[in-house]
Amino acid sequence: MNPYIHPVGARLPRLETREKITGRAEYTDDLVRPGMLHAAILQSPHAHARIISYDTTRALAVPGVIGVITGDDAGWGRSGPFVKDETAIAKGKVRYVGEPVAAVAALDVDTARQAAQLIDVVYEELPAVFSPDEALAPNAPIIHEELATYVNVLGLPVRGNVLQDCEISQGNVDSAWGECDVIVEGEFETQAQYHAYMEPCAALAEVDANGKLTVWSSNQSIFRDQSNLSESLGLPMSKIRCLSPKVGGAFGGKIEITVQPIAAMLAIKTGKPVRIALTREQDMETMRVRHPARIRMKTGAKKDGTLVAREVDILMDVGAYADDSPGVVGVSTVFSRGTYRIPHARCRGKGVYTNKLRSGAFRGFGGPQAAWAGEQQIDEIAAKIGMDPLELRLKNAPEPGREWMCGIELERSDLKECLEKVRAASDWKRRRNEKGRPGFRRGIGLACIPHISGVLSSSAIIRILEDGSAVLSTGAVDNGQGSDTVLVQMAAESLGLPVDRITFAQPDTDASPYNWGTSASRVTYMVGRAIVGAAEEAVKKLIKYASQMMECAEVDLELRLGGFIGLKGVPDKVLPFAAISGYAHWAAGGPIIGTHALHYDGPVLDPTKAVIKHFPFRFGVWTFGVHAVEIEIDEATGRITPLAVWAAHDLGRAINPMAVEGQIEGGVVQGIGYALFEEMVWDGGKVANPSFMDYKIPGTMDSPMEIHSILVENPDGSGPFGAKGIGEPPIVGPAPAIANALFHATGVRLTKLPMTPERVLRALNEAPRAH
């Protein structure tokens, strides 16, 4: 089938690939405006300190310096998605080492950087806390004294250093332990992972003569930028236009504000365009990480493998600012139940401020932490009752028509199919019995992944151009995952037009319809639904005008492939879109525009069926995944080498299988980095390894070439063409699957991430030789 004519389901190369591989794609730091200045930041040396005063004289005296901003500049407001606790430049207090305290705009970067170091800031140091335990201790220093006065969008129960305290519970856990034949209990720890998008955060801002601000930046949502900028700078949204050039990866790290307000404030102050690009070190010191977590978990089952009860306490280190933490803690708490029917569950999540870099949204959004604990306990139970871990998972998989959790009944559940497909593809039984070569152990382990796609709102506009081609406008930013292409494929399929007859309007808050963000595995699902709706409306109008032109009833007309409206049953009675659109433009009716807007409307956690406290989302269409990872362990060094990965994901329908494989392969490798060596480390309040020299991410030699993507395609009733999202789930599986493989191979279980050679070797040395 010609992919350009039947685009949905086609392995279509990304539409913008040519630009990217010829070096012509423009990212924020590639943009130049006339008279543009370059900016640099000064960062706090203290983890917690009051700012007493600034002296900018020396900096301003450097030739080439045009402007300086500090927290004293008028206009700074607090912003944040849940609790508005953060100014773009510290005001009054600094709360983590590295926090921006001032910025300079100069004729060139060297000058700006040099001058920034010449700004003198007088601090009064305050006692600081570096872990949730320290922050929760009685008499701990309070990081946000005015927390109670901040705008708190959802009325979260903030107090002291506690930001989020949520619960998702059901059944009667306390009495359920009595029904269990086997109970496992443990404490698990996860580390801070850095997003390591290859493009460090950058922004370019410019103010016009009327005071209207235009901001180009590396981001996941121009609309979140606009809203955050408005709060940050105290400007009405109508005075702010946000645009997105190409984005060099994001993974959650760019969904909220980054450096846009700094560039904007400098542009306002100097009247010149100002560009800022963080260095890699600054990006690692000032942006975001995945939440470090400590998870206490207890799971009970019957002898036959039926899961009965689970109790979970998640404690997450939020860092100095709230950012997306209330959401991440909440989602982690829901996902801590895993992919299983567990009648009795009590899951609590707590997020606590510390004087460290903020934790934020990161692909998986709390899922990786929860699965690290939960999926290991499933294997522990399997081992205790002597059941194959795959069978145990099958036994407890959700089924359509039966309640799954919190009142939700799934229309269908493809977890079993994912499990069966992984079993077959990995040759599970044979590999479970494989022994390693001398000096090495070999093992294979599983992990199941619960996730959702679709939260919040999206919209789309399709306008038919005079020649019958179309422009698709959604406001969705492509972070590299390929959404521009996938969205165009869906629009093309809906309109019966070839892909090259659709142009994708670049996101622009002045012109694009609203989209909350490229996040939460939601673009394909939510924006896709908006596109299908918009296309339906456009087609309706095409039919209406065609009926006027052909003088027949609308019901007798149909959409035909290739951009035609035809008379049903009469093959050669057709009108091309060009003729109809021309008629609409020049004769009657007006330009043909289809629009559709929606808010997530699917099944939600039901507060009448379960205790649901402070869970901040209406969410989402459920999707499941199963990973099996085969590993080899060097007995003498403790190094784990992942050999092969089988990754089955229930994604409804793959709009573009090649893009889906890309998401799976990329997510799996990010998950392997998380599993084996990635870890942001602090020395007191300072990030100790803010460079790629010290913080390692996987390269070609550290990544398995055997990543088998298994696409389980059973169309979802609500999704566009049956599709659900696939952006996040693939990162969740590798860590617990590898931990389970390690146990399978050696009898050793690690509860702390990452599984460095050192931790593995120590565990091997301490363990009785079980195998």
Measured from the CB atom, is 657 or 715 closer to another protein? 657
**DSSP β-ladder status, 93-94 and 49-55:** antiparallel
Subset of 320-349 contacting ligand FES (CB under 6 A): none
User: Is residue 27 a contact point for another protein (CB under 8 A)?
Assistant: yes
Single out the residue of 81, 201, 193 nearest to residue 479, CA to CA.
201
User: Is residue 198 a contact point for ligand FES (CB under 6 A)?
Assistant: yes
Are 293 and 315 in contact by the 8 Å Cβ rule? The answer is yes
User: Is residue 747 a contact point for another protein (CB under 8 A)?
Assistant: no
User: Is residue 646 a contact point for another protein (CB under 8 A)?
Assistant: no
Q: Which residues contact 170 (CB under 8 A, 6 or more apart)?
A: 343, 344, 345, 346, 405, 406, 609, 610, 611
The least CB distance from residue 278 to ligand FES, in Å, is 13
Span from 246-254, 338-346, 530-538, 737-745 in contact with another protein (CB under 8 A): 246-254
Q: Residue 724 and residue 717: Cα distance in Å, rounded?
A: 10
Span from 193-201, 396-404, 617-625, 712-720 in contact with another protein (CB under 8 A): 193-201
User: Is residue 497 a contact point for another protein (CB under 8 A)?
Assistant: no
The least CB distance from residue 763 to another protein, in Å, is 12
CA distances for 536 relative to 83, 323, 553, 594, 667, angstroms: 39, 37, 18, 7, 34
Tokens of 192: 């801070």
Taking the CB of residue 344, how many other CB atoms lie within 10 A of it?
Answer: 21
Measured from the CB atom, is 544 or 696 closer to another protein? 696
Q: Give the three-state DSSP class for 616.
A: coil
User: Is residue 474 a contact point for another protein (CB under 8 A)?
Assistant: no
Binding partner of residue 598 among ligand FES, another protein, none, CB under 5 to 8 Å per kind? none
The least CB distance from residue 218 to ligand FES, in Å, is 12
Q: Residue 766 and residue 764: Cα distance in Å, rounded?
A: 5
Measured from the CB atom, is 25 or 643 closer to ligand FES? 25
Binding partner of residue 637 among ligand FES, another protein, none, CB under 5 to 8 Å per kind? another protein
Tokens of 407: 């009142």
User: Is residue 248 a contact point for another protein (CB under 8 A)?
Assistant: yes
Q: Figure out which of the listed residues 7, 8, 9, 14 binds another protein, where binding follows CB under 8 A.
A: 14
Query: Between helices 734-746 and 657-676, what is the axis angle to 10°?
Result: 60
* Count of residues that bind ligand FES according to CB under 6 A: 3
The least CB distance from residue 200 to ligand FES, in Å, is 10
128-164 burial code (b ≥16 CB/10 A, e <16) = bbbbbebbbeeebebbbeebeebebeeebebeebbbb
Q: Figure out which of the listed residues 429, 511, 694, 767 binds another protein, where binding follows CB under 8 A.
A: 694
The least CB distance from residue 480 to ligand FES, in Å, is 5
The least CB distance from residue 587 to another protein, in Å, is 39
The least CB distance from residue 728 to ligand FES, in Å, is 16
Q: Residue 425 and residue 443: Cα distance in Å, rounded?
A: 16
Measured from the CB atom, is 16 or 179 closer to ligand FES? 16
Binding partner of residue 109 among ligand FES, another protein, none, CB under 5 to 8 Å per kind? another protein
User: Is residue 603 a contact point for ligand FES (CB under 6 A)?
Assistant: no
Which strand ranges, in their side-by-side order, compose the sheet holding 564-567?
Answer: 557-560, 564-567, 574-576
The enclosing H or E element of 176 equals: helix 173-176
The least CB distance from residue 277 to ligand FES, in Å, is 12
Are 83 and 326 in contact by the 8 Å Cβ rule? The answer is yes
Query: What phi, psi does 420 have (nearest 5°)?
Result: -65, -40
Binding partner of residue 661 among ligand FES, another protein, none, CB under 5 to 8 Å per kind? another protein
Span from 371-379, 465-473, 478-486, 605-613 in contact with another protein (CB under 8 A): 478-486
220-231 burial code (b ≥16 CB/10 A, e <16) = bbbbbbbbbbbb
User: Is residue 662 a contact point for ligand FES (CB under 6 A)?
Assistant: no
User: Is residue 686 a contact point for another protein (CB under 8 A)?
Assistant: no
The least CB distance from residue 109 to another protein, in Å, is 8
- Region for 481 from its dihedrals, namely left if φ exceeds 0, alpha if ψ lies in -120 to 50, beta otherwise: alpha
Q: Figure out which of the listed residues 98, 482, 652, 733 binds another protein, where binding follows CB under 8 A.
A: 482
Q: Figure out which of the listed residues 26, 146, 174, 391 binds another protein, where binding follows CB under 8 A.
A: 26
The least CB distance from residue 27 to ligand FES, in Å, is 11
The least CB distance from residue 22 to another protein, in Å, is 5
Q: Figure out which of the listed residues 5, 471, 505, 761 binds another protein, where binding follows CB under 8 A.
A: 761
- In the 8-state DSSP scheme, what is residue 523? I
* Count of residues that bind another protein according to CB under 8 A: 77
Site mask for another protein (CB under 8 A), range 701-720, x = bound = xxx-x-x-------------
Subset of 201-240 contacting another protein (CB under 8 A): none
Q: Figure out which of the listed residues 7, 8, 10, 29 binds another protein, where binding follows CB under 8 A.
A: 29
User: Is residue 98 a contact point for another protein (CB under 8 A)?
Assistant: no
The least CB distance from residue 69 to another protein, in Å, is 22
User: Is residue 33 a contact point for another protein (CB under 8 A)?
Assistant: no
Q: How long is the chain?
A: 771
Measured from the CB atom, is 152 or 670 closer to another protein? 670
Q: Figure out which of the listed residues 281, 388, 537, 558 binds another protein, where binding follows CB under 8 A.
A: 281
User: Is residue 251 a contact point for another protein (CB under 8 A)?
Assistant: yes
**DSSP β-ladder status, 621-634 and 440-453:** antiparallel
Q: Figure out which of the listed residues 76, 197, 615, 646 binds another protein, where binding follows CB under 8 A.
A: 197
Peptide bond into 616 cis (omega under 30): no
Q: Figure out which of the listed residues 64, 160, 249, 657 binds ligand FES, where binding follows CB under 6 A.
A: 249
Binding partner of residue 412 among ligand FES, another protein, none, CB under 5 to 8 Å per kind? none
Q: Residue 591 and residue 581: Cα distance in Å, rounded?
A: 7
Q: Residue 8 and residue 524: Cα distance in Å, rounded?
A: 12
User: Is residue 19 a contact point for ligand FES (CB under 6 A)?
Assistant: no
Span from 8-16, 118-126, 524-532, 542-550 in contact with another protein (CB under 8 A): 8-16
With vertex at residue 92, the alpha carbon angle to CA 357 and CA 71, rounded to the nearest 5 degrees, is 85
CA distances for 189 relative to 139, 369, 370, 451, 577, angstroms: 25, 8, 10, 21, 59
User: Is residue 681 a contact point for another protein (CB under 8 A)?
Assistant: yes
> 749: buried, middle or exposed (CB in 10 Å: 19+, 13-18, 0-12)?
middle
Q: Residue 475 and residue 461: Cα distance in Å, rounded?
A: 9
Q: Give the three-state DSSP class for 296.
A: strand
Are 452 and 620 in contact by the 8 Å Cβ rule? The answer is yes
The least CB distance from residue 626 to another protein, in Å, is 18
Q: Which residue carries 């690009």 as its tokens? A: 277
Q: Residue 96 and residue 318: Cα distance in Å, rounded?
A: 12
Binding partner of residue 695 among another protein, ligand FES, none, CB under 5 to 8 Å per kind? another protein
User: Is residue 200 a contact point for another protein (CB under 8 A)?
Assistant: yes
Residue type for 221, please? Answer: S
Measured from the CB atom, is 40 or 447 closer to ligand FES? 40
Subset of 444-483 contacting ligand FES (CB under 6 A): 480
Q: Figure out which of the listed residues 479, 489, 512, 518 binds another protein, where binding follows CB under 8 A.
A: 479
Q: Residue 745 and residue 444: Cα distance in Å, rounded?
A: 7
The least CB distance from residue 668 to ligand FES, in Å, is 15
The enclosing H or E element of 667 equals: helix 657-676
The contact set with ligand FES (CB under 6 A) reads: 198, 249, 480
